[in-house]
Amino acid sequence: MQRSATNHFHVRVANPADAAEITVLINSAFRPAEGFFVERDRIEVEEVINSLGAGQFLMAEEESALVGCVYVEPRGERAYLGLLSVDPSRQHSGVGSLLMAAAEDYCSGLACRFMDIKIVNLRKELPGFYRRRGYVETGTSSFPADVETKQPCYFIDMTKSLGAHGG
């Protein structure tokens, strides 16, 4: 999978050797965004490796340097997308949008018809980001009970129809 956003970025499917680099990127991206309500790292290397058994991480690179990633997991006609992460120094550069499009294309190519996401209600900037990309709210779900938070929170569930050609 090679998909260019500009002349600088390309996207590829991760392999287990990328797990440590993916872990560092996810934690560096989520720490400033989620630090106000959760204190722990977002993910551990073992979780990344285990996730590769059920789904894939798509990695955006610039000159072989990892600048963003996203996790996708096909689930029949639906797919789950999570952990959209962009290096803090590269945010607002189009990497997140590139990864969203690549993830939708990838899952559409696997015959998935819908993409599902969960966003934390406390992240006020996220609903608009996803609505602009065609996602609609479908309900709410509980935040994991084993994650200690500084304030109550829950997930906003959203979905998008991928259509015949990935949206």
74 touches 56 (CB < 8 A): no
User: pTM above 0.85?
Assistant: yes
- Tens digit of pLDDT at every position of the chain (167 positions): 544 444 588 999 999 999 999 999 999 999 999 999 998 899 999 999 999 999 999 999 998 899 999 999 999 999 999 999 999 999 888 999 999 999 999 999 999 999 999 999 999 999 999 999 999 999 999 999 988 999 999 999 999 999 754 44
Terminal C-alpha separation, the chain: 17
Give the CA radius of gyration of the chain. 15
Per-residue tokens: 15:
């392999």
Q: Which residues contact 139 (CB under 8 A, 6 or more apart)?
A: 157
Fold held by 9-161: Aminopeptidase (3.40.630)
Cα separation of 37 and 45, whole Å?
Answer: 22
